[in-house]
């Protein structure tokens, strides 16, 4: 331990602060009409799309390459700053990530 009477400075305590920068998922359940089955509850995962609007993000590129073009309430579609995937597409994306 340092003594202040000898001109030594006591050590400064280290304060550890950790921030969680993980994007927050918003999970929404919607009722979709499926022919022959009626109204089926379907989960959609809203994933923040932090890229610029003029550029295609890696997630959007993956969706186009693997799931085709976006279709509202289909396998995937785009919001203003999010990409929305249905349950099966979201799990496929997680497995290939």
Is residue 13 one of the residues assigned to a domain?
A: no
Is residue 50 one of the residues assigned to a domain?
A: yes
Q: Which segments within 1-97 are labelled E, that is strand?
A: 26-34, 38-48, 76-78, 82-86
User: Domain total for the chain?
Assistant: 1
Locus of tokens 């799931």: 67
**What pLDDT is stored for residue 84 in this prediction?**
92
Distance between CA 68 and CA 21 in Å, rounded?
30
The model's pTM? 0.67
Report percent pLDDT > 90 for the chain: 35
Environment class of 94 (CB within 10 Å of its CB; exposed 0-12, middle 13-18, buried 19+): exposed
Is residue 53 one of the residues assigned to a domain?
A: yes
- Decide if 77 contacts 85 (C-beta within 8 A): no
Is residue 4 one of the residues assigned to a domain?
A: no
What mean pLDDT comes out for the span 12-17?
A: 71
Domain that holds residue 28: 22-96
């Amino acid at each position: 331990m340092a003594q202040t009477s000898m001109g030594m400075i006591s050590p400064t305590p280290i304060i550890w602060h950790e921030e969680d920068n993980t994007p927050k998922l918003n999970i929404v359940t919607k009722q979709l009409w499926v022919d022959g089955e009626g109204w089926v509850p379907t989960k959609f995962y809203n994933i923040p799309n932090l890229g610029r609007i003029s550029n295609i993000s890696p997630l959007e590129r993956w969706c186009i390459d693997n799931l085709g073009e976006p279709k509202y309430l289909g396998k995937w579609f785009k919001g203003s700053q999010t990409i929305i995937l249905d349950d099966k597409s979201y799990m496929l994306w997680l497995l290939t990530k």
